Amino acid sequence: MATITIVGLGYVGLPLACLCAEKGFKVYGFDIDKNKVDLINKSQSPIDDEYIINKLKNSKIKIHATINPSECIPVSDIVIVCVPTPADKSNSPDLTAIMESTSTISKFIKQNTLLIIESTIYPGTIEEIIVPILKKQRFDAYKNDIFVAHCPERIDPGNKKWTIENLPRVVGGITKESSKKAAEFYRSIIDADVIELSSIKAAEATKIMENTFRDVNIAFVNEMAKSFDKAGIDIIEVIKGASTKPFAFMPHYPGAGVGGHCFDKNEWIFVKYEDSVYPMKIGELYELLKYYNEAEIGETRLVNAGNLEVLSFDLDNKKSCYKPLKLLSKRPYQNMLRINAVGNYSLKLTDKHPVVVFNNGLKIKPADKLGRNDRLVVSLELPEIEKEIKIDIIENINEEL
């Protein structure tokens, strides 16, 4: 069996690594995050995903994770790149991670290796950016010194019906040989169709089509939901009715927005300051404010938001509005935890997230210190007559410290 290196052990790369190992390949995982690498080598998942957690518990699945590219790239027959490609400040694709990954790979990769890019990229990226980086190390993809192909990632975290094992895939290569080798590889690991497209640009464009289709249709159904609500019409009932048509309709449901795993890391918010509104990422806002008033409580860092407001939703009046932003907090974490409580409550938290518990009074505990008999304080729709409860957060945090 071939030796494979997966570059980038996130929500795309890690399940792919698990699947390849399960199919009998020798699998390396390369990532620059040492904490993530250490967890994987202990058969622990750095991602709160049931599929990955269960796979890593399987003693037959062995993934050799490393932060050292010289340990894995030179001995690999197949290298698959699964690094993030977010948007930058101007909303243009940020290809920094994929360019740096390719540059690192090119220094250690051997001739005749199959190099597959799974990261989401725009048409022309591989031919205009990736291939020239390889060329600097004297690898000519057009002469099959290295077999370069693109297989756009398809994964829906948490979806038990459509998993990485049964989702159809498309591939496109720099050459016909590259495309053929990539298709043969995916056919060996998944139980679904693998379609060879005529060019690598067609494969790149496929993901653009998929994401744009989803984005536009969710935006459309959200607009329809608002219109129907004013007319007293149930949008869900309408969608069910339209779904009975066996052609030319695909149901999309209203919600908070496009969302999805591709957009979570750098989530955009609308910030209002004085009479102007600025779209920006939450992380960017924090970095901007921290230079003025950052404070620390234990490992948690706080910044005062001053006179800023953010676009929110008013539950009482059932409409969007701008609300004052008081504080932004930031804390380091290693693991995501799932906490199940009676009454079908389920919480997903970072390991050090402060949780309010009631045990002879209200106290604060980090999520990873919760016990079976702790009584959690959860959000409920309160009656009209409310009893005010004051919690001295600082006092409780100091007790934990």
Catalytic residues: 262
Task: Tell me the C-alpha distance between 210 and 213, whole Å.
Answer: 5
3-state secondary structure 56-87: HHCCCCCEEEECCHHHHHHHCCEEEECCCCCE
Buried b (16+ CB within 10 A) or exposed e, 170-186: bbbbbbeebbebbbebb
Please, are residues 254 and 290 in contact by the beta-carbon 8 Å criterion? no
Residue 68 structure tokens: 């050292």
Residue 269 structure tokens: 């918010």
